[in-house]
Amino acid sequence: MLNETDCIDLFSQDRLNAYSDLQEHEDNFALIGDISYKIGILEIILHNKIHRIMLNHNPKWLTLLIGGGFENLSQNELISKQSFGFWVKVVEHFKIHNKIFDKNFLDNLDFKTYYKHNKNSFSSNHNRLLRHHKVSVIMKLLHLLRNRAFHFENLYKMNKNGPRLSVTICNVKNEKLVVSLHPKRIIYFVNDILGGFNQDLLDYGSKKHPKKEIP
């Protein structure tokens, strides 16, 4: 294990100050490694699925939305060049939430699984989360997690009031609901979303292949 002097030299004291200790800094890289390829799988699945849904509305929807200047790019290149935040906004703007995930998956999704103080309703039990609310939470949490992980931020960091990985949604009555993702439940969240598409995705990309000999 790297000693403190080497860690400071290699990573900088300012970066290490964001962690409770050196072990958390190392553990954070391990966690990012465990989830990054799975987030990549989800990102590809989601933008492909959203694109197919939007094609039913208008075959030229993407070029109409992003404008000109991309005439030399193929459809696949256009899709891949859009940020994950772009696809989150497409879902919200065109209100296609309920066409993305399986209904049974959404109906059985319990956000308390990812943080014990989460709620599955707004201020009143009569205003329970609808399917499109759950999709909004999933997309926003995944977007936030993706950006934090891919920028190598501290996923274990907590705020005074709870997990730093938190998003807010509203219903038609303008009631707000905060849903959080506890650091120790991150991998469960990612796996649940993967399994919501196909259970075989849980092992996809995790197999160890024998190293090829360098010629």
Other residues' Cβ atoms within 10 Å of the Cβ of residue 167: 19
What is the DSSP secondary structure assignment for residue 128, as one 8-state letter? B
Low-confidence ranges of the chain (pLDDT < 50): none
Task: Give per-residue pLDDT as tens, 189-209.
Answer: 999 999 999 999 999 988 765
pLDDT at 5: 93
Query: What pLDDT does residue 214 have?
Result: 59
pLDDT of residue 194: 97
Residue 86, Cβ density class (10 Å: 0-12 exposed, 13-18 middle, ≥19 buried):
middle
Q: What 8-state DSSP symbol labels residue 68?
A: S
Interatomic CA distance for residues 81 and 110, integer angstroms: 33
Q: Is 162 helix (H, G, I), strand (E, B) or coil?
A: strand
Residue-level pLDDT at 205 = 87
pLDDT value of position 213: 63
Q: Where are the domains of the chain?
A: 21-65+73-202
**Of residues 167, 189, 182, 166, the one with CA closest to residue 116:** 182
The rounded distance, in Å, linking the Cα atoms of 37 and 26 is: 18
Phi-psi region of 152 (alpha: psi -120 to 50; beta: other; left: phi over 0): left
Partnered with residue 166 across adjacent β-strands are 180
Question: How far is 169 from 175, CA to CA, in rounded Å?
Answer: 8
Is 123 in contact with 175 (CB distance < 8 Å)?
A: yes
